[in-house]
Structures are given as structure tokens and as C-alpha cells.
């Protein structure tokens, strides 16, 4: 655990209140379905009712919860198939012609995919995977851009009981190799590349490099994306190992039964950064996960049958898993899915998409909202955004200024904003307002959902009734992680050891006088850059893997657009010269080791790092330096002079800073 951050004391003083708009309340599904009354019973009964209402079971469950800290089993004797829930049952119910995805590529190409078409493509690819030797429980690595084949691959795995491990396309070959190795993936599904900001961002070369470094991949399936839409880069294919997706699909059958899975069978792994250099393979299972994501999607976004819903996240992160793929499809909803960046070809791409598809619900991240703020209100003003009804936010605390901008300029002051707090580990939304029901305050995620028990506690674990402390979860919830792949000890130590019997979130939070929750940010060595979780230790170990670096310390400094920015304090070895180009090379080295998202924005060279007498780097002080704050108590430092020296360097313009 790192030193306590200043952020816990940085209470927001925000008292504006926004009551639920009457027109949203009048058609609220929450009110129509009587959720408040249901929530009065026990949380087990509540979730069992949702599991029966929203999920189709092959064999109904009779057991609701088996809880032996830290192992939860939900609906354990029930059986189901997630792909059947997301696709086949809707087709059988006569919804085959309903659009599942309005997909739009960055160059402007589009695909409209109905539930029947998606079901058939998934069944075909499930047969392809089987043909490549993938069976129940096998792990499939997925390294794809935001194209329809990404949900198709995930659902094809779910259909045959295989486990997908999606790796965000922005991660490097190294990061992909580590993830493949950790869970011994048998097959890798990738693409030649995807479009980003008008250019083909290639994936296959990194995929090749990763596969060469690992020993378990038997087959690589390659989707032709950029090559099929204008890029003429030659992609090398290894005979016998690599196969084009379109070749394999050409004569695959649409006849593929859904495997009957136990509610607690593994659905997927998703790697996330923790406080050590090694990412954790977060495990999510079947019945409880589907129940909670379907419930939260339906009520938090108030999804009506004809709605057009757009979650603008990347499927490479948990938000995309739960709220682009599993929840909207389980609820038979029509989604927009977009491949590229928001500034291509113009800075109004998002607003153009909303106008053209008539999007009713938009779910995005504060970092995107702050970027839109920078681009100016002229961009959204070019478009008719009157179709919007509900706006969502996720991934990091939303500052009241960004909230107000979203409310005014995107929501036209009529759309409730749902600030949803959750994590990769929680699988689904945990704390959020309900549109048409909750009075919101800008920057507060408001209240826990029914069936979710959270508490703020102090250092000693005493409940904090009002004020700040650490966020904890006191009861198991259906979509909670079931473990860390291959490392039960780490699962227990990270989440369950600090406050016995409770889940330790890793976020600082406060509860105000009205009982509203405000989640302030991480209290561990995890940074949040543009809503992405990045471990300080992971970046540090990438830096010291360069032979010229003796020591490195990394902190997240407050940044107006990205929430936090990565600042690295680096001590080069012996006679290494402290040049601008060394800084550049180190930034590139981190991008190669982990991915561009982890590249430090600023590198500050220093002779020494501030350490306690026991040798622990004092990141709090480095954060103070990086943010230009007054230094607090430095008496525990072994050498108080060090930090002054670093500060002088930071101020003297010594640092290497990215544009």
C-alpha cells in the first residue's frame, strides 16, 4: 500500500442538485417494474428475481448464493449459455430482423447486423474454432480492433464454452505475449489492422512477435480489415499456423449447438493492472455476470425496446465487454459500434454519428468529455442531438465542470447523467443514479444499486458515516470476479485481506451530508490515465529494463484532459548523459514494453529518489513535485535534500515532456 494520497482530503464542495426530469420519470422502467419495492427484500432474493426475469436458463437454479470468503457461487446449480441468451433466444422470439449493431468503420464504411445475422456469424465462427481444436474451457486470445468480428469471436467462444481473453489493440507485442502465456491460450484471433485517425494501425506484426515469444498458440485467425478497406501493406501469413478469417468462414456451417454451461463456469479472463508489474487475469463467470450486467444496463440506462444505444468505449476494456457486448445483446437492444477516433475526419464525428443514427443513450468517459470541451461547443452545435435522452459516464471521477458541460451542451439540459462507478473486478455497475428516479449532483455517483452493499471505512476498518475514507463492498454481488487466474493467493491478498470479510476496492471515496457517494480516485499504486488503469510498478519495471536506467519512480499527476498523466523520475546509470533523446528513447521503450497508453508524458532525470529510511520510494512527495505543490512533511526521508534537488530540476525545465 502506498502512502496516503492528498486526494482523500480534497473534498469537492459541490451542492448543485438536479432532480429527475418529469418526462423521463413518466416512462422509467425502474418505476414501471417496481424495482424499489423489490429492493426492500434481501439482496439474495432481489438478485434471484432478476436472474429469473432477465436470463433464460436451461436448467433453473435452486441455490442462490454460496459464500465462503472470498469465494462466491451464484445460482450454482443452474445451467445456461450466454450466447444463446444474447442471440438465439431473441431470434426464436421473432426478433431476428431487429438490428443488433449499427457498425461504422472510421473510413465511413458501415454494416448493419441483425440479431439473426449475428447469430449465424457467431455459430459459423464457433464451428471454425471447434475445427481448430478449441473446446470447453480452452483459452482463446483476442487482439482485434473495434470491428464486428470482435463481438462475434467473444460470443463464438461463449457458445462452445471456451474462455476468451481480449487484449486491447493498443497493447504491445510484449504485453500480448505476457497475457497469452499467463493463461496458455491455444488460438489467437487478430486482424491485419484497424483504422485510427485516418491511418491503418497494424496489429498482425505485433501478433506475430507475440506468438513467436510464446509456446501455446497453435493457430492464428486473421480478419482482413485494413487490407479490405484501402491499405496495401503486405501482411505475412505463416503457412499451417495462420488462417484468414474469411477463408475459414466461407464454408462453415451455421448449425452449432450452444453448450450447456454451469452458472459458475468461466466466461472470460480480462487482464487489469494492479499494484505489481504483473497484470492480473480477472475471472468472470456465467450466470451471475449475465444477470447483473443485464439488470444494470436495462435500468441504469432505462433501455426501451426501440432505443438506439451507444457505448463509445473499446471492447478491449471491461466497459466494452459488459456494455457493448454482453448486456445490450442479452437485453435485445440495438447498439451503435464505432471503430475509430472521435476526431476523424472532423472533431464532430461523435455528434455526427448521434444525429445520423438517432442515438438515445450515450455512454462515454470523462476524459472524452474533457477533450470535447477543449474542441469547443461549435462541434456539437453543428448537429441535432435532440434524440439523446440519457447520458452516461464511466472510468474515472467526472469533475463537476465536465459534468455541467455534458449536461448543457450534449444533454441540452434535459438528459439525466448517470455517473456509473464500477471496476473490471466488479464486472458490472455498482453505484449509479437511476434516470427519472435519482436527484443527481455533478461529480457524485450517488447511491449503490439495490442488492449492492458498500461502505466507506477508515484506516482501522471502522465505518465512516459522513466524510472520507476507503471504499469497501460488504456483501458478494453476482458479477463479482471469481478469482485471479492461476493465483488464488493474490486474489485473496489484493482484495480480501485488508479488511477481513470485505472486498477492498482500492478507491478513496467520501459520503456527504445527504448520503451521496463521491468516488475520488485510487489509493494504491494504480494510475488512471484517460480512464485506463495503469500500474506505476509496471511502468517502473519497463523503465529499468532499459540498460541505461538505474532506478525509476512513476507517479500519476493531475492532468486537465486525461485525469492523470504519467510522470517518471529516472536515475540514469553512471556516465549516461541526460539528454532529450534519452528521454524520448525511454518513452518509446515503455510503449514497446507495454503499449502507447503507458508511455510517460514527462520524464525528469535525477541523481537520486526520495526514500524513507527503510528504502521505500515516497511517491506522495514525487506527486507533490509533479503537481507543483508545497511539500508536506519530509522528516521521514533518509535524505531530505534529494527532493529539493528534484524539485529544482522539475522547475528548471529539465524534464523531457511530450507535446
Comparison of 128 and 473: residue with beta carbon closer to ligand WTA: 473
Q: How far is the CB of 510 from ligand WTA (least distance, A)?
A: 12
**Segment interacting with ligand WTA, rule: CB under 6 A, options 288-296, 341-349, 415-423, 584-592:** 415-423
Q: How far is the CB of 597 from ligand WTA (least distance, A)?
A: 12
Block residue for cell numbers 441535432: 384
Q: How many whole angstroms separate alpha carbon 483 and alpha carbon 525?
A: 20
DSSP secondary structure string for all residues of 458-512: -TTS-B-SSEEEEEEE-S--TT---EETT-HHHHHHHHTTTTTTSEEEEEEEEE-
Site for ligand WTA in 428-487 (CB under 6 A): 445
Q: How many whole angstroms separate alpha carbon 554 and alpha carbon 189?
A: 33
- Is 542 a residue that touches ligand WTA (CB under 6 A)? no
Q: How far is the CB of 189 from ligand WTA (least distance, A)?
A: 22
- Is 396 a residue that touches ligand WTA (CB under 6 A)? yes
Comparison of 332 and 428: residue with beta carbon closer to ligand WTA: 428
Block residue for cell numbers 485488508: 498
- Is 421 a residue that touches ligand WTA (CB under 6 A)? yes
Report the run of H or E that residue 67 belongs to, with start and end.
Answer: strand 65-68
Extract the C-alpha cell encoding 79. Answer: 445451467
- Fill in the DSSP letter of residue 128: H
C-alpha dihedral sign at 430, 40, 298, 364: negative
Q: What is the CA 336 to chain-centroid distance, rounded?
A: 18
Comparison of 242 and 507: residue with beta carbon closer to ligand WTA: 507
Total residues at the site for ligand WTA (CB under 6 A)? Answer: 22
- Is 522 a residue that touches ligand WTA (CB under 6 A)? yes
Among 203, 222, 318, 617, binds ligand WTA (CB under 6 A): 318
Comparison of 172 and 420: residue with beta carbon closer to ligand WTA: 420
Among 102, 186, 533, 649, binds ligand WTA (CB under 6 A): 533
Q: How many whole angstroms separate alpha carbon 137 and alpha carbon 145?
A: 24
Q: How many whole angstroms separate alpha carbon 644 and alpha carbon 632?
A: 12
- Is 535 a residue that touches ligand WTA (CB under 6 A)? no
From the list 174, 186, 180, the residue with the least C-alpha distance to 219 is 186
- Is 605 a residue that touches ligand WTA (CB under 6 A)? no
Comparison of 194 and 397: residue with beta carbon closer to ligand WTA: 397
Q: How many whole angstroms separate alpha carbon 577 and alpha carbon 590?
A: 19
End-to-end CA distance of the chain: 32
- Is 245 a residue that touches ligand WTA (CB under 6 A)? no
Extract the C-alpha cell encoding 170. Answer: 493498443
Q: How many whole angstroms separate alpha carbon 451 and alpha carbon 504?
A: 18
Comparison of 252 and 283: residue with beta carbon closer to ligand WTA: 283
Extract the C-alpha cell encoding 81. Answer: 449459455
From the list 527, 531, 512, the residue with the least C-alpha distance to 469 is 512
Q: How far is the CB of 450 from ligand WTA (least distance, A)?
A: 18
Report the run of H or E that residue 271 belongs to, with start and end.
Answer: strand 266-272
- Is 524 a residue that touches ligand WTA (CB under 6 A)? no
**Segment interacting with ligand WTA, rule: CB under 6 A, options 20-28, 45-53, 65-73, 389-397:** 389-397
CB closest to ligand WTA, residue no: 424
- Is 317 a residue that touches ligand WTA (CB under 6 A)? yes
Residue pair 36/551 in contact (Cβ under 8 Å)? The answer is no
- Is 394 a residue that touches ligand WTA (CB under 6 A)? yes
Q: How far is the CB of 403 from ligand WTA (least distance, A)?
A: 11
Among 117, 314, 339, 419, binds ligand WTA (CB under 6 A): 419
- Is 397 a residue that touches ligand WTA (CB under 6 A)? yes
- Is 417 a residue that touches ligand WTA (CB under 6 A)? no
Task: Report the interface residues with ligand WTA, using CB under 6 A.
Answer: 272, 317-319, 394-397, 419-424, 445, 506-507, 519, 521-522, 528, 533
Amino acid at each position: 500500500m502506498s502512502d496516503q494520497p492528498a486526494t482523500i482530503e480534497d473534498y469537492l464542495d459541490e451542492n448543485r442538485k438536479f432532480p429527475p426530469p418529469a418526462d423521463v420519470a413518466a416512462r422509467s422502467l425502474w418505476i414501471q417494474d417496481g424495482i424499489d419495492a423489490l429492493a426492500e427484500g434481501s439482496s439474495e432474493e432481489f438478485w434471484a428475481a432478476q436472474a429469473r426475469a432477465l436470463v433464460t436458463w436451461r436448467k433453473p437454479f435452486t441455490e442462490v448464493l454460496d459464500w465462503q470468503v472470498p469465494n462466491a457461487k451464484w445460482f450454482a446449480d443452474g445451467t445456461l449459455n450466454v450466447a444463446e441468451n444474447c442471440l438465439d433466444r431473441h431470434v426464436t422470439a421473432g426478433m431476428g430482423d431487429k438490428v443488433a449493431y449499427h457498425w461504422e468503420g472510421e473510413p465511413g464504411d458501415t454494416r448493419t447486423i441483425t440479431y439473426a445475422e449475428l447469430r449465424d456469424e457467431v455459430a459459423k465462427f464457433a464451428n471454425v474454432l471447434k475445427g481448430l481444436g478449441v473446446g470447453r474451457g480452452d483459452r482463446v486470445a483476442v487482439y482485434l480492433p473495434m470491428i464486428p468480428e470482435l463481438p462475434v469471436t467473444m460470443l463464438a467462444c461463449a457458445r462452445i464454452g471456451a474462455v476468451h481473453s481480449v487484449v486491447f489493440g493498443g497493447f504491445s507485442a510484449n504485453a500480448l505475449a505476457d497475457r497469452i502465456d499467463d493463461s496458455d491460450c491455444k488460438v489467437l484471433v487478430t486482424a491485419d489492422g484497424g483504422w485510427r485517425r485516418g491511418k491503418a494501425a497494424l496489429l498482425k506484426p505485433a501478433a506475430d512477435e507475440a506468438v513467436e515469444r510464446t509456446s501455446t498458440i497453435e493457430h492464428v485467425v486473421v480478419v482482413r480489415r485494413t487490407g479490405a478497406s484501402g491499405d496495401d501493406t503486405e501482411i505475412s501469413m505463416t503457412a499451417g499456423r495462420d488462417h484468414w478469417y474469411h477463408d475459414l468462414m466461407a464454408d462453415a456451417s451455421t448449425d452449432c449447438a450452444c453448450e450447456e454451461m454451469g452458472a459458475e463456469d468461466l466466461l472470460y479472463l480480462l487482464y487489469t493492472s494492479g499494484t505489481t508489474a504483473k497484470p492480473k487475469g480477472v475471472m468472470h463467470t456465467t450466470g451471475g455476470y449475465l444477470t447483473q450486467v443485464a439488470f444494470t444496463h436495462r435500468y441504469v440506462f432505462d433501455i426501451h425496446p426501440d432505443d438506439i444505444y451507444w457505448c463509445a468505449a473499446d471492447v478491449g476494456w471491461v466497459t466494452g465487454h459488459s456494455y457493448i457486448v454482453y448486456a445490450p445483446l442479452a437485453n435485445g437492444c440495438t447498439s451503435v459500434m464505432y471503430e475509430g477516433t472521435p476526431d476523424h475526419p472532423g472533431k464532430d464525428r461523435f455528434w455526427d454519428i448521434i444525429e445520423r443514427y438517432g442515438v438515445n443513450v450515450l455512454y462515454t468517459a470523462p476524459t472524452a468529455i474533457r477533450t470535447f470541451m477543449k474542441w469547443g461547443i461549435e462541434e456539437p452545435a453543428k448537429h441535432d442531438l435532440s434524440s439523446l435522452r440519457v447520458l452516461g459516464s464511466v472510468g474515472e471521477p467526472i469533475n463537476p465542470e465536465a459534468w455541467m458541460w455534458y449536461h448543457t451542451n450534449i444533454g441540452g439540459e434535459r438528459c439525466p447523467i448517470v455517473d456509473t462507478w464500477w471496476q473490471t473486478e466488479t464486472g458490472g455497475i455498482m453505484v449509479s443514479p437511476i434516470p427519472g428516479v435519482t436527484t443527481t449532483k455533478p461529480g457524485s455517483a450517488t447511491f449503490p444499486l439495490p442488492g449492492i452493499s458498500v461502505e466507506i471505512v477508515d484506516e482501522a476498518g471502522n465505518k465512516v458515516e459522513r466524510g472520507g475514507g476507503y471504499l469497501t463492498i460488504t456483501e458478494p454481488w453476482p458479477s463479482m470476479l471469481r478469482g485471479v487466474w492461476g493465483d488464488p493467493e493474490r486474489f485473496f491478498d489484493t482484495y480480501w485481506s485488508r479488511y477481513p470479510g470485505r472486498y477492498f476496492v482500492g478507491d478513496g471515496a467520501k459520503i456527504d451530508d445527504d448520503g451521496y457517494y463521491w468516488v475520488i480516485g485510487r489509493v494504491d499504486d494504480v494510475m488512471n490515465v484517460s480512464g485506463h488503469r495503469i500500474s506505476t510498478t509496471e511502468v517502473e519495471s519497463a523503465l529499468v529494463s532499459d540498460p541505461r536506467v538505474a532506478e525509476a519512480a512513476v507517479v500519476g499527476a493531475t492532468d486537465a484532459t486525461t485525469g492523470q498523466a504519467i510522470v517518471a523520475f529516472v536515475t540514469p546509470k553512471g556516465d549516461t548523459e541526460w539528454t532529450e533523446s534519452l528521454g524520448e528513447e525511454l518513452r518509446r521503450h515503455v510503449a514497446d514494453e507495454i503499449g502507447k497508453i503507458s508511455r510517460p508524458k514527462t520524464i525528469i532525470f535525477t541523481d537520486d529518489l526520495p526514500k524513507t529510511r527503510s528504502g521505500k520510494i515516497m511517491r506522495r512527495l514525487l506527486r507533490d513535485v509533479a503537481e507543483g505543490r508545497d511539500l508536506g512533511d519530509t522528516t521521514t526521508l533518509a535524505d531530505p535534500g534529494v527532493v529539493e534537488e528534484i524539485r529544482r530540476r522539475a522547475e528548471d525545465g529539465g524534464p523531457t515532456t511530450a507535446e
